[in-house]
Structure 1
Amino acid sequence: MAEKALKPTEEKLKPKLFSVMKTYTKEQFIKDIIAGVIVAIIALPLSIALALASGVGPEQGLYTAIIAGFIVSFLGGSRVQIAGPTAAFATTVAGIVAAEGMDGLAISAIMAGIILIIMGLCRFGTLIKYIPGTITTGFTFGIAVTILLGQIKDFMGLTFKNKPIETIDKVKEIVNCIGTINWQALLVGVISLAILIFWPKKLEKIPASLIAVIVGSLLVKFSGLEVNTIDSLYDISNSLPHPTVPDVTFARVRALLPNAFTIAVLAAVESLLSCVVADGMIGSKHRSNMELVAQGAANIGSAFFGGIPATGAIARTAANVKNGGRTPVAGMVHSVVVLATLVALMKYAGYIPMPTIAAILFVVAYNMSGWRNIRNTVKTAPKSDIAVLFVTLVLTVVFDLVVAIGVGTVMAALLFMKRMADVTEAHAWV
Structure 2
Amino acid sequence: MKSLKIGRFEGYSVHHFKKDLLSGIIVGIVAIPLAMSFAIASGVKPEYGIYTACIAGILISIFGGSKYQIGGPTGAFVPILLGIVLTYGYENLLIAGLMAGIMLCLMGIFKLGSLIKFIPRPVTVGFTAGIAVIIFTGQIANFLGLTNMTRHEYFIANLKEIVMHIGTTNFYSIVTAIICLIFILLTPKVLPKVPGALVGIVVSTLIATFFFSGQVATIATAYGQIPSTLPDFAIPDITLERIQLLIGPAFVIAMLGGIESLLSAVVADGMTNSKHHSNRELVGQGIANIVTPLFGGIPATGAIARTATNIKTGAVSPMSGIIHGVFVLITLLLLAPYASHIPLASMAPVLMVVAWNMSEQKHFAHIVKLKSGDSLVLIITFLLTVFTSLTLAVEVGLVLAVVLFTKRMSEKLVVTKVLPDHALKHEKVQSHVVHQQHDCPQISIYTIEGPLFFGAATTFEQAIAAPTHQSKVLILRMGKVPFMDSTGETYFGSIIRNFKTQGGTILITGLQDEMKAALQHNGLYDEIGEAHFYPHTGEAINEAFRYLDTNRCIGCKHFAFRECQELSQSKEKRDLIVQ
Pairwise TM-score range, normalised by the shorter structure = over 0.9
Q: Which residue of structure 2 aligns with residue 121 of structure 1? A: 109
TM-score by length of 2: 0.70
Q: Which residue of structure 2 aligns with residue 14 of structure 1? A: none
CA distance in 2, matches of 1:251, 1:134: 36
- The answer to whether the 8 A contact 1:150-1:170 is kept is yes
- The answer to whether the 8 A contact 2:380-2:393 is kept is yes
Deviates further, 168-177 or 330-339: 168-177
How do residues 391-430 of structure 1 correspond to structure 2 at under 5 angstroms? 391-424=380-413, 428=460
Q: Which residue of structure 2 aligns with residue 255 of structure 1? A: 245
Q: Give the secondary structure class of the aligned counterpart of 1:227.
A: coil
Across the aligned residues of Structure 1 and Structure 2, the Cα RMSD in angstroms comes to 1.5
Deviates further, 113-122 or 415-424: 415-424
Q: Which residue of structure 2 aligns with residue 98 of structure 1? A: 86
Residue 236 of structure 2 is aligned to residue 246 of structure 1: yes
Q: Which residue of structure 2 aligns with residue 311 of structure 1? A: 301
1:18 Cα deviation from its structure 2 partner = 4.4
* Cα-to-partner distance string for 1:24-51 (whole Å, 9 max, x where unaligned): 1110011001110111011011111111
1:392 Cα deviation from its structure 2 partner = 0.9
1:425 Cα deviation from its structure 2 partner = 6.1
Q: Which residue of structure 2 aligns with residue 371 of structure 1? A: 361
Residue 281 of structure 2 is aligned to residue 285 of structure 1: no
Residue 68 of structure 2 is aligned to residue 80 of structure 1: yes
CA distance in 2, matches of 1:174, 1:325: 43
Q: Give the secondary structure class of the aligned counterpart of 1:351.
A: coil
1:22 Cα deviation from its structure 2 partner = 2.2
- Shift in alpha-carbon separation, 1:215–1:412, aligned structure 2, 3 A: same
Q: Extract unaligned runs of 5+ from structure 2.
A: 416-448, 450-459, 465-579
CA distance in 1, matches of 2:216, 2:307: 33
How do residues 22-421 of structure 1 correspond to structure 2 at under 5 angstroms? 22-160=10-148, 162-225=150-213, 226-235=215-224, 236-380=226-370, 382=372, 384-421=373-410
Q: Give the secondary structure class of the aligned counterpart of 1:352.
A: coil
1:242 Cα deviation from its structure 2 partner = 2.2
Higher strand share: 2
Equivalent residue letter for 1:229:
T
Q: Give the secondary structure class of the aligned counterpart of 1:240.
A: coil
- Shift in alpha-carbon separation, 1:333–1:381, aligned structure 2, 3 A: farther
* Cα-to-partner distance string for 1:113-148 (whole Å, 9 max, x where unaligned): 111111111111111110011110000000000001
Q: Which residue of structure 2 aligns with residue 20 of structure 1? A: 8
- The answer to whether the 8 A contact 1:268-1:292 is kept is yes
CA distance in 1, matches of 2:152, 2:112: 38
Structure 1 segments, 4+ long, off by >4 Å, are 425-430
- Shift in alpha-carbon separation, 1:18–1:380, aligned structure 2, 3 A: farther
- Shift in alpha-carbon separation, 1:416–1:237, aligned structure 2, 3 A: same
- The answer to whether the 8 A contact 1:237-1:347 is kept is yes
1:308 Cα deviation from its structure 2 partner = 0.4
CA distance in 1, matches of 2:150, 2:413: 56
CA distance in 1, matches of 2:299, 2:6: 25
Deviates further, 414-423 or 54-63: 414-423
* Cα-to-partner distance string for 1:225-276 (whole Å, 9 max, x where unaligned): 5111111101222221222211112222112111111111111111111111
CA distance in 1, matches of 2:252, 2:146: 32
CA distance in 2, matches of 1:407, 1:135: 9
- The answer to whether the 8 A contact 2:98-2:293 is kept is yes
Deviates further, 17-26 or 362-371: 17-26
- Shift in alpha-carbon separation, 1:161–1:79, aligned structure 2, 3 A: closer
- Shift in alpha-carbon separation, 1:65–1:18, aligned structure 2, 3 A: farther
- The answer to whether the 8 A contact 1:160-1:173 is kept is no
Percent sequence identity over aligned pairs: 46
CA distance in 1, matches of 2:345, 2:197: 13
1:162 Cα deviation from its structure 2 partner = 3.8
CA distance in 1, matches of 2:371, 2:16: 44
CA distance in 1, matches of 2:56, 2:63: 10
1:381 Cα deviation from its structure 2 partner = 5.6
- Where relative contact order (Cα < 8 A, 6+ residues apart) is larger, the structure is 1
CA distance in 2, matches of 1:373, 1:289: 28
- The answer to whether the 8 A contact 2:39-2:45 is kept is yes
Equivalent residue letter for 2:353:
V
Q: Give the secondary structure class of the aligned counterpart of 2:314.
A: coil
* Cα-to-partner distance string for 1:271-317 (whole Å, 9 max, x where unaligned): 11111111111111111110000000011111111000000011111
- The answer to whether the 8 A contact 2:114-2:278 is kept is yes
CA distance in 2, matches of 1:161, 1:372: 34
Deviates further, 153-162 or 170-179: 153-162
Higher helix share: 1
Equivalent residue letter for 1:231:
A
1:324 Cα deviation from its structure 2 partner = 0.9
TM-score by length of 1: 0.93
Equivalent residue letter for 2:156:
I
- The answer to whether the 8 A contact 2:197-2:350 is kept is yes
- The answer to whether the 8 A contact 1:50-1:87 is kept is yes
Equivalent residue letter for 1:371:
Q
1:164 Cα deviation from its structure 2 partner = 2.9
Specify the structure having the higher radius of gyration (Cα).
2
Equivalent residue letter for 1:185:
S
- The answer to whether the 8 A contact 2:368-2:378 is kept is no
- Paired residues, number: 413
